[in-house]
Chains A and B, each alone.
Chain A
Amino acid sequence: MSAAHPALALLAAAFAVAGSRGIAQRVLRVAGPALALAIWWSLEPGSTTGASVGGFEVLTVRVDALSLVFGLAMCGIALIGSVYSLHQRSAAESAAALVYAAGSLGVIFAGDWLTLFACWELMAVSSLLVIWSGASPRALAAGSRYLLVHAAGGATLLAGILLHVSRGGSFRVTPLDPSTADPVAFWLILTGVALNAAVPPLHAWLTDAYPEASVGGAVFLSAFTTKTAVYLLIRVFPGTELLVPLGVAMALYGVVYAVLENDVRRLLAYHIVSQVGYMVAGVGLGSPLALDGAAAHAYCHILYKALLFMGAGALIHATGRRKLTELGGVAGSLRWVVALYAVGAVSISGFPLFNGFVSKSMVISAAGEAHRSWTELLLTLASVGTFLHTGLKLPYFAFFAPDRGLAVRPVPANMYVAMAAAALLCFGIGVAPGLLYAQLPNGGGYAPYTAVHVATSVQLLLGTGLAFWALRGKLGGEPTRSVDADWLYRTPGRRLGGAIVEGCAGFGREAARGASALAARVAVATAAPTRLFAPFLDLLRGERTPDTAGFDEDAARMPIGATVLSVVAFLCAIALLAG
């Protein structure tokens, strides 16, 4: 049974948006994701769409439980993000954002490696345009670095895919078994996907670029790239042991850097790294509960992280400031923004009744069931850091810190509508987790609302809250920037690149100079061949030919006697040969 592709609605909308303006353009920006959602609704598990291309069975649509749950999240957030950014007038950015969402859906529903890679790269290029649409020098520079990193990641993934298929691996996107797959192909594909999942030290593109996008663009960015990579990890690398320590390291890495961060959206970006760490660890654990937990947490994370970015974006839109050291005293003017941000904050922090509580705990419980005490404890530690920064530090210092006399301009109604929709979904899934669990590949099979789980979660949050209150004097923003892995290509890498370019240019200059000198000598020798024999002729004539003289035909010309002699010799030779 063939199936339509939700991405087609987004691509069609993107083309239409690029060629329209005004009300029509805004309608199209919302209609595209709405139509994609309607197509998603019509998809039946087990249905496929494909064709034979050059002997390969290309499957552009493969519908199963995993692709459906991720597809729903992507269609939904594309709609919410489009509504949120309706006040932004850039047709190019809106079209790029829709293509970005289409690329993500293309990867999620791809049944073969060729389709997957094409959509993977479509996602990379369109997300770059979204970043560049930030239209500041910092956005342009961050986008250029983003391009550099993702070009390397894409090339790594492509090399892995080509090697995998050429060594007899399946053309279909199926789980890779490290014991049977080509080991080089396995690690190349894993590295390419891990880069998009922002696994340290391959993560710095995210925290570098996302805060530089426009407020609407950042909402799209927060959802698609990393979660599409998580989807692919679940699909291809379930139970890969290395992902457990990597996921735990990610969860803690983001938390540590968030303490030091002053930029509100960069702080949230570090928490993307941290939250994706839970998903990566869940994939590595590999049990049905852990894999469902990774998928459920990706779904919930897309919603609450978008809500947090929307709240931060509304704050930036209203005040024009993005750093904690420049913000404060605006809670009274932005009550609804504070309230809606708070829903995202309690969701990511794992408060009962909100979606983070019902998804994050699945991965932590899966670690407990696997008797991995350190994994369980360290992931719990990371969740303390999440509440500390996203739930307490950021809102306290951005909204409630002493008034700095900032002028606050109104927040557009479309921003509120989008934030309210995301908040409603965060709460809805929190109180009715069965709706989400029923969509999961293994059926969820998890009971989050046990008395002990609620009680221990409340204790953890209270302990964190008490510590924050005691430490709040030390947690304010500082006018600093944290050195991260991007330092490698921002400082020594830039210098090395500059040195290579300068070296090549210098070599080129010297080569050109040498070639010019050689050409000059050849030109002189060609015009006056006797110059080559000048030393011998000088001996015959008894005088020295001046070196610096230009072309002098008298000097160049052979003596008349020599010409006569050579003509006579030539004629004698002919006569001898003829005779």
Chain B
Amino acid sequence: MTRAGLAAAAVLALAVGVEVLAHGDHAGGFWHAIPGFHFVFGLLACYAIVVLSKGLGRLGIQQPDGDEWEP
């Protein structure tokens, strides 16, 4: 693992640790009670956004940047 990767892992561990230790009542959704949820959510949401967007692009949203778009 690179130095940047190690640093990111350390920051992640610290963030999850703080979440566990400082956790209190939260008015939001149930997921706030799950330690580390936001890391997993960020990871999976990123994949979902890319897959969904690229899929919509292949379905016809993306068109060649050709002359038909020119004024």
Chain A residues with CB under 8 Å of chain B are 137-138, 140-142, 255-257, 259-260, 262, 365, 367-369, 371, 373, 376-377, 380-381, 384-385, 388, 450-452, 454-468, 471, 474-475, 478-484, 490-491
- Assess the A482–B63 pair: CB atoms within 8 A: yes
Contacts of B64 in A (CB 8 A): 479-481
Contacts of B63 in A (CB 8 A): 480-483
Known: A368-B27, A455-B18, A482-B61. A256 touches B53 (CB 8 A): yes
- The distance from the CB of B60 to the nearest CB of chain A, in whole angstroms, is 7
Q: Is the CB of A381 within 8 A of B49?
A: yes
Residues of B within 8 A of A (CB): 8, 11-12, 15-16, 18-19, 21-24, 26-32, 36-50, 52-54, 56-57, 60-65, 68-71
Give Cα A459–Cα B35 distance, bound, in whole angstroms.
10
Shortest CB–CB separation between residue A96 and chain B, in angstroms?
Answer: 21
Is A480 a contact of B50 with CB atoms below 8 Å?
no
Residue of A368, A475, A478 near B29 (CB, 8 A) is: A368
Assess the A478–B62 pair: CB atoms within 8 A: yes
B22 touches A471 (CB 8 A): no
Smallest Cβ-Cβ distance to A490: which chain B residue: B69
B26 touches A260 (CB 8 A): no
6 shortest interchain CB distances as A-B pairs: A463-B42, A141-B71, A368-B28, A467-B46, A259-B53, A451-B22
Task: Say whether, besides A460-B39, A463-B38, A260 and B11 are in contact (CB < 8 Å).
Answer: no
Cross-chain contact A483 with B61 (CB below 8 angstroms): yes
Residues of A within 8 A of B53 (CB): 255-257, 259-260
Contact call A457/B38, Cβ cutoff below 8 A: yes
Nearest chain-B residue to A368 (Cβ)? B28
Shortest distance in angstroms between A324's beta carbon and chain B's nearest beta carbon?
A: 12
Question: Roughly how many angstroms separate A273 CA and B17 CA in the complex, as a whole number?
Answer: 35
Q: Are A480 and B70 in contact (CB under 8 A)?
A: no
**Given B31, B42, B43, B71, which contacts A137 in the complex, CB threshold below 8 Å?**
B71
Check A467 against B43 for contact (C-beta < 8 Å): yes
Min CB–CB distance B32 → chain A (angstroms): 8
How far is A377 from B28 in the complex, measured between Cα atoms in Å? 9
Contact assessment for A454 and B42 in the assembled complex, using a CB-CB cutoff below 8 Å: no
Contacts of B69 in A (CB 8 A): 481, 490
Complex: chain B residue closest to A392, CB-CB: B46
CB neighbours (8 Å) of B21 from chain A are: 451
